Amino acid sequence: VTTWHYHRATEPATVHTVTMVLMNPVISKLTGKLVVLASASPRRLEILTNVGLRFEVVPSWFKETLDKRLFKTPHEYAVETAKQKALEVAKRMPFKHLKTPDIVIGADTVVTVDGLILEKPVDKQDAYRMLSRLSGKEHSVFTGVAIILCHEKEVIDFYEETKVKFADLSDDLLWEYINSGEPMDKAGGYGIQALGGMLVEYVHGDFLNVVGFPLNQFCKKLGLIFSPPGSLTHNSAQTSPQGSPVDTVPPAEPAASSPPGSPTHNGPPDSQGQNIPSASTAHVSTHVNALKYNVRENETEDGKEKLSKMIELMDGFKASKVLFTASKLHVFDVLRSSKTGELQAEDVAQEIKASMKGTERLLEACVSLGLLQRTGKGILSQFLTLHFLLSDGPLSLQGYIQHCNELVWPLFTHLETAVREGTNQHEKAFGKSSDNLFQDAYYSRHEVKLRFMKAMHSIAKVSGRDVATAFDLSKYKTACDLGGCTGAMAYEFAKAHPGLSVTMFDLPEVIEMSGHFRPHDADDRVSFVAGDFFKDELPKADVYILARILHDWSDEKVHILLSKIAKACNPGCCVLVSEIFLDEDRKGPSRGLLQALSMTEGRQRSASEYSLLLKSHGFTTAQVKHTHNLLDAILCVAE
Ligand SMILES: Cc1cn([C@H]2C[C@H](O)[C@@H](COP(=O)(O)OP(=O)(O)OP(=O)(O)O)O2)c(=O)[nH]c1=O
């Protein structure tokens, strides 16, 4: 008994000491700071207390009610919830507690299975539903974490995923477990750290992440925040053995000039602590090491990855122009038209009427970019991407590629001025000003209009099916595609919904040319009506489609259009908006943000921004679909 007591008494102390050695470099950075854990979770409190962090607990009042459909991935949802929890506390404290914290930490744990996000069960039946869904399967546990640096007004967020596999669980076992009461305050309805551990066959990843807090990654992030590479604080890492959770310092060899026995970053401290430098040597060695990091950053895996990203960005415009040029010179069409699909470079040069040397270079660049394939001695054949690159065919992107080359490229050459002035550089790029981009620029000349329409046609052809099938529209009879341009999207909707008649509504100058694009097997449920959706009466319909329309306009103009649609709608009618949806934190996708750089009065928005705009006109969001194609979609129903 005595021995047992002895172990019980000393074990925690031993663990504590070891932990302090490991965590001190990072955790000690928080000494003297007011750190607040914005969570009521006893598990999070325990995990952070165990590593010696001193903090206050102020549970967040943020209700976990974010619309899950607005998030592309479960981890984005968890991160956003964590952020909102932490922000709520950060905002409340100065008023309610009369003090401003230095750091607020928020977290949110969710379980995901079969594309569903499971949070805490609301009752026993709910817990049963969750647990029986998890039975016999692997699922993911995501914890999103947000660290708010209150004075710097910065938010650092991240997430961790752990995979957990449940054994096959009998109903009896499930009910016994549910009746224990354990599931109720836990995401997914189980607690791996207690009785719930019996349900688990295996865990891949950070165990503590399942319990509610990814400690390892959290410490790494703290290390990055408080010991950025090259800063004086780096020396603290010398007390960390290599590979410890807080060792964020890249492995570095002793500098050639270092005297023998001088401290190294990763050398473990010797028992007398002689490897830990005195204050003065620490200072000197930090300078040496700071220099070393900068010089050698490109030698670490992370550094190499960043370097190659930089190179890719610097070369990005060249790659785009290679695609534009090969497409404009019909290189891909020429290859397709050869009997074998393969040609020698000189044959291509002849066909496209270009120099041998230039063609060879262009073809080689295309091969390197994966646009073409080399099959033998200098022979090129079409590659998988070919159907996107041909000038015709159902999935041709050529219209859009040429639009990028002829219109977007010149605009982007004036990006610097566009940024300085906050305006579109149409006048600089094309020599004339435009108040109304569509009337003055896109539809001014026949060939420009045709090119613009081809571009819109490409996008609608490639993304149309995914947009048209995003929602069940079987109860609706009529749809109106506002600004539908060539009608490609309208035909996709008609194809996807046998009971739907679709009116394509666009400016008269567009309608007059839409015949060029009519498919051979044109469905007679698609009709064309000319008009201006800002000025004229809208055709009556059950579903109004706005595909790639709203991003072109300011909120003010969007409100004008939506109020017209709302007037034309009966309750139960709906609006389907299809756009690139920005992530809620506006960190991506870059495709949308890059497009915004050449916009005039429009702006890119997230799904919740579109949802809010529509809500102000009496439309409730029914569904959001991230299609993983060029355009996403949101369906909102009139109340
Ligand atoms: C999957 C799993 C979750 N959990 C817990 C961790 C979290 O506390 C909880 C998920 O709910 P959260 O909403 O993440 O957190 P919370 O409500 O407990 O606390 P707060 O919102 O105030 O921060 O589930 C376990 O304890 N063990 C497990 O195995």
Nearest-atom index, ligand 1, CA of 192: 29
Quote ipTM for the complex.
0.94
- Residue with tokens 């204050």, as numbered in its chain: 279
**Which pair of tokens denotes residue 606?**
């997230």
- Residues of the chain by 3-state class (helix, strand, coil), percent to 5: 50, 15, 35
Sequence-distant (≥ 6) Cβ neighbours of residue 424 within 8 angstroms: 411, 418, 437, 598, 599, 600
pLDDT at 294: 52
Instruction: Identify the bridge partners of residue 171 per DSSP, sorted by sequence position.
Output: none
DSSP state of 404: I
What residue's CA is closest to ligand 1, atom 6?
A: 212
Nearest one of 83, 38, 32 to 53, comparing CA atoms = 32
Residues 247-256 as b/e (b if ≥16 CB within 10 A, e otherwise) read: bbbbebebbe
State the DSSP string of 518-547. Answer: --TT--TTEEEEE--TTTSPPPP-SEEEEE
Give the distance (Å) from ligand 1 centre to CA of residue 93: 23
What residue's CA is closest to ligand 1, atom 8?
A: 41
Instruction: In the chain, list all ranges with CATH 3.40.50.150.
Output: 463-638
Confidence of residue 31 (pLDDT cuts 50, 70, 90): confident
What residue's CA is closest to ligand 1, atom 16?
A: 41
**Cβ(190) to ligand 1 under 6 A?**
yes
DSSP state of 199: G
C-alpha triplet 274, 275, 279: angle, nearest 5°: 85
Give the distance (Å) from ligand 1 centre to CA of residue 391: 54
The answer to whether residue 15 scores a pLDDT higher than 90 is: no
DSSP state of 167: P
**Cβ(141) to ligand 1 under 6 A?**
yes
**Which pair of tokens denotes residue 527?**
């009709």
pLDDT at 393: 80
Pocket test for ligand 1, best of 36, 37, 39, 41 (most atoms within 8 A of CB): 41
Give the distance (Å) from ligand 1 centre to CA of residue 607: 27
**Cβ(196) to ligand 1 under 6 A?**
yes
Give the distance (Å) from ligand 1 centre to CA of residue 212: 5
Q: Please, are residues 109 and 187 in contact by the beta-carbon 8 Å criterion?
A: yes
**Cβ(575) to ligand 1 under 6 A?**
no
**Which pair of tokens denotes residue 595?**
């497009």
**Cβ(414) to ligand 1 under 6 A?**
no
**Cβ(60) to ligand 1 under 6 A?**
yes
- In tens, the pLDDT along 198-213 reads 999 999 999 999 999 9
Nearest-atom index, ligand 1, CA of 143: 14
Nearest one of 447, 446, 422, 427 to 437, comparing CA atoms = 427
pLDDT at 425: 85
Q: Which residues have a catalytic role annotated?
A: 108
Nearest-atom index, ligand 1, CA of 196: 29
What residue's CA is closest to ligand 1, atom 23?
A: 39
**Which pair of tokens denotes residue 12?**
């925690």
Q: Please, are residues 140 and 187 in contact by the beta-carbon 8 Å criterion?
A: no
**Cβ(107) to ligand 1 under 6 A?**
yes
Q: What is the mean pLDDT of residues 496-521?
A: 94
Nearest-atom index, ligand 1, CA of 109: 14
Q: What is the 3-state secondary structure (H, E, C) of 62-94?
A: CCCCCCHHHCCCHHHHHHHHHHHHHHHHHHHHH
**Cβ(59) to ligand 1 under 6 A?**
yes
Nearest one of 37, 206, 187, 43 to 106, comparing CA atoms = 37
pLDDT at 96: 75
Pocket test for ligand 1, best of 165, 186, 193, 195 (most atoms within 8 A of CB): 186
Q: What is the mean pLDDT of residues 490-499?
A: 96
**Cβ(192) to ligand 1 under 6 A?**
yes
| 431 φψ region: left (φ > 0), alpha (ψ -120 to 50), beta (else) | left
Give the distance (Å) from ligand 1 centre to CA of residue 37: 13
pLDDT at 234: 33
pLDDT at 242: 30
Give the distance (Å) from ligand 1 centre to CA of residue 8: 28
- In tens, the pLDDT along 361-409 reads 999 999 999 898 887 766 676 666 778 898 888 889 999 999 999 999 9
Give the distance (Å) from ligand 1 centre to CA of residue 143: 9
Of 59-68, 134-143, 195-204, least confident by mean pLDDT is 59-68
Give the distance (Å) from ligand 1 centre to CA of residue 138: 19
Sequence-distant (≥ 6) Cβ neighbours of residue 439 within 8 angstroms: none
Judging by beta carbons within 10 Å of its beta carbon (0-12, 13-18, 19+), is residue 199 exposed, middle or buried?
Answer: buried
**Cβ(186) to ligand 1 under 6 A?**
yes
- In tens, the pLDDT along 270-329 reads 333 333 333 333 333 333 344 444 556 666 777 888 888 899 999 999 999 999 999 999
pLDDT at 238: 31
- In tens, the pLDDT along 542-570 reads 999 999 999 999 999 999 999 999 999 99
Nearest-atom index, ligand 1, CA of 111: 1
**Cβ(211) to ligand 1 under 6 A?**
yes
**Which pair of tokens denotes residue 203?**
């865990």
Length of the chain: 639
The alpha-carbon radius of gyration of the chain (Å, integer) is: 30
The architecture that CATH gives domain 302-391 is: Orthogonal Bundle (1.10)
Distance of CA 327 to the CA centre of its chain: 30
Instruction: Identify the bridge partners of residue 203 per DSSP, sorted by sequence position.
Output: 164
pLDDT at 343: 87
**Cβ(139) to ligand 1 under 6 A?**
no
Question: The dihedral of CA 596, 73, 301, 249: what is its sign?
Answer: positive
Q: Please, are residues 549 and 605 in contact by the beta-carbon 8 Å criterion?
A: no
Nearest-atom index, ligand 1, CA of 64: 13
The architecture that CATH gives domain 463-638 is: 3-Layer(aba) Sandwich (3.40)
The answer to whether residue 457 scores a pLDDT higher than 70 is: yes
| 299 φψ region: left (φ > 0), alpha (ψ -120 to 50), beta (else) | alpha
The answer to whether residue 227 scores a pLDDT higher than 90 is: no
Q: What is the value of pTM for the model shown? A: 0.58
Instruction: In the chain, list all ranges with CATH 3.90.950.10.
Output: 32-219
Task: Identify the residue with better confidence: 95 or 294.
Answer: 95
On the CB side of 447, how many CA atoms lie within 13 Å of its CA? 3
Question: To the nearest whole number, what is the mean pLDDT of the chain?
Answer: 83
- In tens, the pLDDT along 148-174 reads 999 888 899 999 999 999 999 999 999
**Cβ(324) to ligand 1 under 6 A?**
no
Of 134-138, 191-195, 235-239, 495-499, least confident by mean pLDDT is 235-239
Nearest-atom index, ligand 1, CA of 106: 23
Judging by beta carbons within 10 Å of its beta carbon (0-12, 13-18, 19+), is residue 392 exposed, middle or buried?
Answer: exposed
**Which pair of tokens denotes residue 243?**
């590979």
Confidence of residue 246 (pLDDT cuts 50, 70, 90): very low
Sequence-distant (≥ 6) Cβ neighbours of residue 566 within 8 angstroms: 617, 618, 619, 638
Alpha helices (runs of H) in 135-256, residue ranges in sequence order? 171-179, 207-211, 215-226
What residue's CA is closest to ligand 1, atom 9?
A: 186
C-alpha triplet 499, 501, 502: angle, nearest 5°: 135
Of 78-82, 485-489, 581-585, least confident by mean pLDDT is 581-585
**Cβ(43) to ligand 1 under 6 A?**
yes
pLDDT at 13: 36
| 6 φψ region: left (φ > 0), alpha (ψ -120 to 50), beta (else) | alpha
Tell me the one-letter amino acid at 403. Answer: H
**Cβ(39) to ligand 1 under 6 A?**
yes
What's the CA gap between 293 and 287, in Å, rounded? 10
Q: What is the mean pLDDT of residues 571-587?
A: 95
Q: What is the mean pLDDT of residues 124-145?
A: 97
Give the distance (Å) from ligand 1 centre to CA of residue 43: 8
**Cβ(214) to ligand 1 under 6 A?**
no
Judging by beta carbons within 10 Å of its beta carbon (0-12, 13-18, 19+), is residue 381 exposed, middle or buried?
Answer: middle
Q: Please, are residues 106 and 82 in contact by the beta-carbon 8 Å criterion?
A: yes
Options 3.30.1540.10, 3.40.50.2300, 3.90.950.10, 3.30.70.380; CATH of 32-219: 3.90.950.10
Query: Strands 116-118 and 103-113, how do they pair?
Result: antiparallel
Confidence of residue 435 (pLDDT cuts 50, 70, 90): low
Instruction: In the chain, list all ranges with CATH 1.10.10.10.
Output: 302-391
Question: The dihedral of CA 336, 340, 344, 346: what is its sign?
Answer: negative
Give the distance (Å) from ligand 1 centre to CA of residue 586: 27
Give the distance (Å) from ligand 1 centre to CA of residue 20: 26
| 551 φψ region: left (φ > 0), alpha (ψ -120 to 50), beta (else) | alpha
